[in-house]
Structure 1
Amino acid sequence: MTANAPIRTESLTKRYGDELAVRDLSLTVERGEVFGFLGPNGAGKTTTMRMLTTLTRPSSGEAWVAGAPITDRDAVVDELGYLPEEPPIHDELTGREQLEYVAGLRDSPGTETDERIRELLARFDLADDADDRISTYSKGMKQKTALIQALLHDPAVLFLDEPTSGLDPRAARTVRNLITELREEGMTVFLSTHILPVVEELADRVGVLHDGRLVAEGSPESLTHRAESGEESTLEEVFLEVTSERPGEAAGADAERSEFVR
Structure 2
Amino acid sequence: MKTARVAYDGAIHVAHPTDTDALRLGDGRLVAEQAVTFLPPVVPGTIFALGLNYADHAKELAFKAPEEPLVFLKGPNALIGHRARTVRPDNVDYMHYECELAVVIGRKARNVKAENAYDYVRGYTIANDYAIRDYLENYYRPNLRVKNRDGCTPLGPWLVDREDIADPMNLALRTHVNGRLTQEGSTRDMIFSVPWLIEYLSSFMTLAPGDLILTGTPEGLADTRPGDEIVTEIEGLGRLVNTIAAQSEYYGSRHSAA
**TM-score normalised to structure 2 length:** 0.25
**Structure index of larger Rg:** 1
Relative to the length of structure 1, the TM-score reads: 0.25
Larger relative contact order (CA 8 Å, sep ≥ 6): 2
User: Higher helix proportion, which one?
Assistant: 1
- Higher relative strand content: 2
